[in-house]
Amino acid sequence: MAGEADGPFKGLLVPILLPEKCYDQLFVQWDLLHVPCLKILLSKGLGLGIVAGSLLVKLPQVFKLLGAKSAEGLSLQSVMLELVALTGTVVYSITNNFPFSSWGEALFLTLQTVAICFLVMHYRGETVKGAIELSSLLEQFHFHSSSE
């Protein structure tokens, strides 16, 4: 029975999607309709799905900028403002030890927005300035997230 409880999926499911008691409830006792555990599984699964989906949100814009070799029509101020808002969300979530599934999408959107911001500055002829400012922003982000 103990070997059955430590099945091949336990190492993946327990730390990511389920507490150990829910793994036992669903996969050892086969109580597949245990509502509290199903709610946890659904909530964590949707959270991770949103995080995975956020990996692709801004990539079409990045590729369009690269393909056009121009950032005409994009406001640097609006991109920077979005970057500040996203960075604030990520830092606040890390500081408060929120689970990754609740703030991971903001992290990936931040990284993609950093790329867009750099491209806007690069195509305006401010490549060095953009690299310095973005590295400074990332350094501040690293400092705030590691200070707690």
pLDDT at 78: 93
Q: Which residues of the chain have pLDDT under 70?
A: 1-17, 137-138, 140-148
**Residue 97 Rama label (left phi>0; alpha psi -120 to 50; beta):** left
What DSSP assignment string belongs to the chain? -HHHHT-TTHHHHHHHT--HHHHIIIIIS--TT-HHHHHHHHHHHHHHHHHHHHTTSSHHHHHHHHHHT--TT--HHHHHHHHHHHHHHHHHHHHTT--HHHHHHHHHHHHHHHHHHHHHHHHTT-HHHHHHHHHHHHHHHHHHHH--
Count of alpha carbons within 13 angstroms of residue 15, beta-carbon side: 2
pLDDT of residue 8: 66
Q: What pTM does this model have?
A: 0.68
Alpha carbon separation from 131 to 45, 58, 114, 115 (Å, rounded): 36, 20, 10, 10
pLDDT at 3: 46
Q: Return d(Cα 17, Cα 43) in angstroms, integer.
A: 9
Query: Do residues 101 and 47 touch, judged by C-beta distance below 8 A?
Result: yes
